[in-house]
Amino acid sequence: MGTLKEFVDYVRANPGRLNVANGGTGSSGHLNTAIFLNATKLDMVEIQYRGQPPALLDLVAGRVQFALASPSLVLQYIQSGQLKPLGVVARSRLAQLPDVPTMSEVGYPEANVVAWYGLCAPKDTPATIVETIVSGVNEALKDPAVRTALEGQVTQVMDPMTPAELQALVASDTEKYGKIIKDANIKIQ
């Protein structure tokens, strides 16, 4: 199988016969997998792991047939030819994997997931301190060396946000992922 479409077609022809790795209940990889399986309507057997590294070892060994994992963890396996990337869940193609399409490009835009990091401070932090922090972070993100270092970790750097924009993103993602967790019946064990 060379493409995501070929993989999806194969899984559909063999419902419930292939394994998908879950690198940790409630983890971003678990949620991404739930989103992907919902978007593609695939029937796969979910195998639980305690973290992505052991899941990836079983993927490389062929004990599971599919996993959604952090690019920084799988890049070495892809570069060595041990794993074949089928798609990325990102806004755009990754610089390190320019030939690998995004989920949107292969027809599953709802499977694209943007992981992000935000800085938080106690709610009573004075506005001047918050503004100083935001200004400093935004300046750092404009620095080509900082961007290069982050992108070297197989990370796509988002445009800086204001505190209000980050708060809106948190609210939006809380609602979105809450629905995914409920629909996929994900429970922390």
pTM: 0.78
Length of the chain: 189
Please count the CA atoms within 13 angstroms of the CA of 35 that sit on its side-chain side: 22
**44 and 80 Cβ atoms separated by less than 8 Å:** no
Which residues pair with residue 45 across a beta bridge? 19
DSSP-assigned letter for residue 109 = G
What is the domain partition of the chain in residue ranges?
Answer: 4-114
Tens digit of each residue's pLDDT (9 = 90 or more) over 159-173 = 888 899 999 999 998
CATH number among 3.40.190.10, 3.40.50.1970, 1.20.58.190, 2.60.40.10, domain 4-114: 3.40.190.10
Joined tokens for residue 40: 């593609």
**154 and 71 Cβ atoms separated by less than 8 Å:** yes
Tens digit of each residue's pLDDT (9 = 90 or more) over 122-176 = 999 999 999 999 999 989 988 999 988 887 777 778 888 889 999 999 999 889 8
